[in-house]
Each structure stands twice: as structure tokens, then as C-alpha cells.
Amino acid sequence: MLEVKRGVSCTRPTALDGILAEMLAPGCGFSVHKAGVDQPLAGGGPEPVRWSGKWFDRSRNFDLAGGRFICRSRGRYLFQARARFTGEPGMLLLYRNGVEACDALEGVADNGAVLLVAGLLLHPGDAVALYAAGNGALSGHPRDTWFAGRRLL
């Protein structure tokens, strides 16, 4: 238990709870996951991460079939992604309109998982997708591999 001001106590939040709480704040966007479906990686160049489920997508801007967020309003967006790789270590890459915008070098590794956090200035029609590269597979567990984004300004 974690003591909070005024003597109110609550359970300690997990890292995922914190991310979900942040994402559910006003201006939220989307949060998708793999819904238990592992994704083998071919071992060549980067390939798109396939998504099977949504935690939320209030504005309906995430195309689950195409695996990408479609921007509807100009602004600065925050994207967060986490992927647990099985087998050899891998890397995450964020693509905007089919071109690499940033990669996992801007993230951190955590017990076989890679965390990527990036801010991008987007215009209506811009598409943002998460790609992965490696020789193993991406874990399908929803808490292991997910992608979320929201408009900041």
C-alpha cells in the first residue's frame, strides 16, 4: 500500500497503469496491443508490427487492419511503444508516411523489452506506424507489446 495525503491509501500503480492513466487524460488518442498473438520476425529489414486489439481509440484514428495511426488534426503528438523480443534482441522504429522518423536508439532496453518514446509534429493525413527488426519474435502478451499515441498541442 502507498500512503497518499489525507490518509487515503491506494495500491501502488504499475508502469502500465501509469501509461494508461496518462493516455486517458484529455486529448487522448489510441492504445493498441497484440491481443496474445506472437509475431515472428523474418530477420531481414524492419517490418510493420501487426496489431490485434485496442485498449481504446476514442477518435477512431487508428487503422487496426493497416497497423497505423492516421492524423486528423495538425499538432505535436507523443508516441510510446514497448515490445518484448524473444530470441535475439531487436529494435523498434517509428515510421511517418513510410519514412523512418526515429528508432529504438532513442529508447531504453528492459529485460528483453525495448521502450520507444517520441514526439512528432504531424499534419492531417500523416500516417504513423511502428516497425520492428530482429531475428526472434515479438511477444503477443498485451502488457509486453503495445503502441500508444496522443496529441499534446
β-pairing, 146-151 vs 108-110, is unpaired
pLDDT single digits (tens) 73-103: 999 999 999 998 887 778 899 999 999 998 7
Q: How many residues does the chain have?
A: 153
**What's the pTM value of the predicted model, to 2 decimals?**
0.78
34: alpha, beta or left, given left = phi > 0 and alpha = psi -120 to 50?
A: alpha
pLDDT single digits (tens) 32-63: 999 889 999 988 789 999 999 899 888 889 99
